[in-house]
Each structure stands twice: as structure tokens, then as C-alpha cells.
Amino acid sequence: MRFWPSNIAAPKKVLRRQYPYIKSSHLDEAIAASFGFNSYAAMCPTLHQVSAYARLVVVTDHLLMLLRLEELGYRNIAPEPLRRLIWNITFPDDRYDKDVGQIIRARRRPAAANAG
């Protein structure tokens, strides 16, 4: 997923629906942990700096999220349903904007056989 503010909000919405008993701030912490940050406070400056100047694509690790939730006292969350939930999230901001997406697709297109 693209490391972008609206894409950080998307998993929180989904997680709030699935796990309504988890405090909002704890979900923030767990989401930050899933990207490898030690805390939500550590993630925020990076998120705002990157979203202003660069395009960064990151992977969410549901096990890091689960470990952080366990540290916060939520010990009865099954890993596999959490993994499937995270995997199926639709993120509002695609990895690439329209122009970059077209460039990438063009580079991946095989050359014509007669383009000698």
C-alpha cells in the first residue's frame, strides 16, 4: 500500500468495525507497529514528511500488529482472521497516481516481436 494518510485511516475503519472493543488509540499504535514503527507518535512525522515529498509503498505485517495489540492487553485475537481482514482492505489511494501508473505499465509491456 502507499504510505499515505488516507491509507492509514482505512485499516483503522475496518478494524474498528471488526474489533469494536479495541480502543481507538490502541488501534493507532497497532497500525503503526504493523509498518515497523515503535509507536504512533514515531510514525506521524514520517507519514507527513513522506506524503509531502515522496511516494513510499509499504507492506503491512499483521503479526507485528497482533504483537502490539497483545502488549496492549488484547490477547484473544486470532492471527489468521486478522491477516485475512488486513489483506482484503481496499485502500483509497492507489500505489501510483495516473501518470506514474501509465509509465510503469508501459515499462512492463513486452516489446513487439518486430520492433527490431
| Structural domain includes residue 114 | no
17 or 55: whose pLDDT is higher?
17
Per-residue confidence (pLDDT) for residue 2, from 0 to 100: 75
| Structural domain includes residue 113 | no
Query: Is the pLDDT assigned to residue 4 strictly greater than 60?
Result: yes
| Structural domain includes residue 42 | yes
Q: pLDDT of 25-83, one tens digit each?
A: 999 999 999 999 999 999 999 888 876 666 677 788 999 999 999 999 999 999 999 99
DSSP 15-35: HHHH-TTS-HHHHHHHHHHHT
Per-residue confidence (pLDDT) for residue 14, from 0 to 100: 94
64 or 114: whose pLDDT is higher?
64
Count of domains observed in the chain: 1
Provide the domain limits for residue 75: 5-108
| Gap between the Cα atoms of 57 and 22, Å rounded | 27
| Structural domain includes residue 17 | yes
| Gap between the Cα atoms of 108 and 20, Å rounded | 42
